[in-house]
Amino acid sequence: MHKRKESSYRTPQRRVTNANIGNTSLGGRVLPTGYHQIKGKDTTMPEGPEIRQQADRLAKALVGRDVEEMFFAFDELQPYTDDLKGTQVTEVKSHGKALVTTFSNGLSIYSHNQLYGRWYVRKRDSYPKTNRQLRLAIHNQRYSALLYSASDIEVLDEEGISTHPFLQKLGPDLLDESTTEAQVLERYQSKTFRRRGLSGLLLNQHFLAGLGNYLRSEILFVCGVHPSLRPTDCNDEQLEALSHASLALTRQSYETKGITNDLERVAQLKEQGKTRRQYRHYVFGRANKPCYDCDTPIEKHTFSGRRLYLCPTCQPDPKVD
């Protein structure tokens, strides 16, 4: 992992290592079944909206402040400590589920949290109580940004970022303001994706960057589409609905810190004293609870190795008549 030859000492890495390929959702393949499951438990892996919020928190603590100290746990990255000390962070941006932290000398740190990685922002030199291993720290006068447990960390120059295999293969980013519904529709209709099952596509960062497991259930529900369908099985109206919902729900979730349910309904449920867990989603996590639209009990299934919630009435199974 992160091997560098002595001769390329101080040359920023331009290649992704074996450690990253196949370890990410973008090793050139759709995620194998069960990838996200640890010991049979479905983890709550952050999705695009959560990663973007994390990038915002990091940016708030880091951008425009001088880097006073750096720490890299991996030996091969340690030479960059001196390169980055004394620079300023100019940007922290999420790309799907990866983060790129850019410094004023043109270098960037690429990090992907995979299943375990976790960022903390703390007052300078105060550390959280955790058994996790610190892998990266960026300290300025006021704050320490601390990345624990992640193994997928690289330091890259501009060219390295622009040619990075993970970043290059990402689909249109749903949280990028320039991404349009027409672009998303094009994705659903494309030869590459239209014959693949929606249940896998809606987890695939090649297809659309920023999606994830709760968004998958929510998007399919609001479109009345069963997860076993492929885009090619859907009519134009359904494809347009999927394109709209992919953008709208991901963006709403970012703006509301994770709420995908109808916001008027959320306001009413809040008034009734319901908890966030109760009002957050249309169907995700609501097994056996009545569908908001038709009162049918919501069902929990497994698709592409991960839990998926649906309303059997609003999202009829095409195989059952």
Instruction: In whole angstroms, give the CA distance from residue 75 to residue 89.
Output: 22
38 binds Zn ion (CB under 5 A): no
The secondary structure of residue 143, as a DSSP letter, is E
Please check whether residue 98 is in contact with residue 173, taking contact to mean a CB–CB distance below 8 angstroms.
Answer: no
Question: Among residues 263 and 294, whose Cβ is nearest to Zn ion?
Answer: 294
DSSP 8-state secondary structure symbol assigned to residue 11:
S
Residue 159 near residue 14, CB atoms below 8 Å: yes
Please say which residue, 55 or 222, places its beta carbon nearer to Zn ion: 222
User: In the beta sheet, which residues pair with residue 307?
Assistant: 302
CA distance 72 to 95: 22
Within 268-307, which residues bind Zn ion (CB under 5 A)? 291, 293-294, 296
- Write down the least CB distance from residue 184 to Zn ion, Å: 25
In sequence order, which ranges of 74-113 are alpha helices (DSSP H)? 80-84
52, 280, 306, 307: the catalytic one is 306
Long-range contacts of 256-264 (CB under 8 A, 24+ apart): 257/49, 257/53, 258/49, 258/50, 260/214, 260/215, 260/218, 260/284, 261/292, 262/292
Residues 39 and 311: their CA atoms lie apart, in Å, by: 28
Q: Which two tokens stand for residue 66?
A: 């001088």
Query: Whole-number minimum distance, CB 294 to Zn ion, in Å?
Result: 4
Q: If binding is defined by CB under 5 A, does position 262 make contact with Zn ion?
A: no
Q: Is 47 a catalytic residue?
A: yes
For residue 185, what is the enclosing H or E element?
A: helix 181-189
Q: For residues 233 and 299, which CB has a smaller minimum distance to Zn ion in the complex?
A: 299
In the set 46, 49, 172, 231, the catalytic residue is 46
271 is catalytic: no
Question: CB of 311: closest distance to Zn ion in angstroms?
Answer: 3
Site string for Zn ion, 124-153 (x = CB under 5 A): ------------------------------
Nearest to 243 by CA among 222, 212, 273: 222
Q: Which is nearer to Zn ion, 251 or 280 (CB)?
A: 280
Please report how close the Cβ of residue 29 comes to Zn ion at its closest, in angstroms.
Answer: 34
Q: Is residue 62 a contact residue for Zn ion (CB under 5 A)?
A: no
Does position 220 bind Zn ion by CB under 5 A?
no
**Residue 46 appears among annotated catalytic residues:** yes
Q: Provide the β-strand partners of residue 41.
A: 38
CA 19 to chain centre: 19
Give yes or no: 177 in active site.
no
The CB-of-295 to Zn ion minimum distance in angstroms stands at 7
Contact status: 313 vs Zn ion (CB under 5 A): yes
Nearest CA to 34 out of 309, 304, 321 is that of: 304
Least distance in Å: CB of 214 to Zn ion?
18
**Toward Zn ion, which CB reaches closer, 148 or 309?**
309
Out of 47, 50, 154, 218, which one is annotated catalytic? Answer: 47
- Active-site residue identified among 97, 135, 280, 286: 97
Return the number of the residue (3 or 265) whose C-beta is nearest Zn ion.
265
Residue numbers annotated as active site: 46-47, 97, 306
Q: Which residues bind Zn ion (CB under 5 A)?
A: 291, 293-294, 296, 311, 313-314
